[in-house]
Amino acid sequence: MKRPCLSCRFFTCAAVATLFFTLTPLLWAQEVAEPAEPAFAGQADQPGEVVLQGKVTYYGRRHAGRRTANGERFDPNALTMAHRTLPFGTLVRVTNVRNNLSVVVRVNDRGPVSPKRVGDLTLAAAGKISMLRAGVADVMLEVVNEILPSKDEKS
């Protein structure tokens, strides 16, 4: 079988590349638009109001000792969490929707990175709501109390 000439191979590659770079952003945009946003129940004006309902995961021990967004060291045994918008120090009740177990945690970090999740818990907090095996849990977040100082702040 005769090989195509060099110019034919070039034009074939150029056509395939053009199709790839033209269609890929369109396909990618459809995939990004599909994931559902976490259910938003509104900003909590009063303690006890549900802020968000969605999925949470937990940090592993490998993050221990690193600085969180508010400057304190990450402690996997502390009852803390990462949240995108709640002020640092806010106390939040995290309730696992599947088993109705809950834990009160303090916001001390920003995150999660994934838009599909509403927060990241510490290992200790995840254990309190029995989500360690699953790794991800559907939860409700309620503001319990506003702004407590971080444990690293000096009085």
In a domain, 107, yes or no: yes
Same domain? For 13 and 89 the reply is no
Instruction: Enter the pTM of the model.
Output: 0.66
- AA identity, residue 63: H
What is the domain extent for residue 78?
A: 39-145
Q: Note whether 49 and 119 are same-domain residues.
A: yes
CA distance 119 to 54: 9
Query: Which residues make Cβ contacts (< 8 Å) with residue 4, sequence separation at least 6?
Result: 12
Domain count, the chain: 2
CATH number of the domain to which 116 belongs: 2.40.40.10
Return the amino acid letter for 109. D
pLDDT, one tens digit per residue, over 89-143 is 999 999 999 999 999 999 999 999 899 999 999 999 999 999 999 999 999 999 9
- Count the Cβ atoms, other than its own, within 10 Å of residue 129: 23
Give 58-88 pLDDT, tens digit per residue.
Answer: 988 888 999 999 999 999 999 999 999 999 9
- The string of DSSP codes covering 46-63 is STT-EEEEEEEEE--GGG
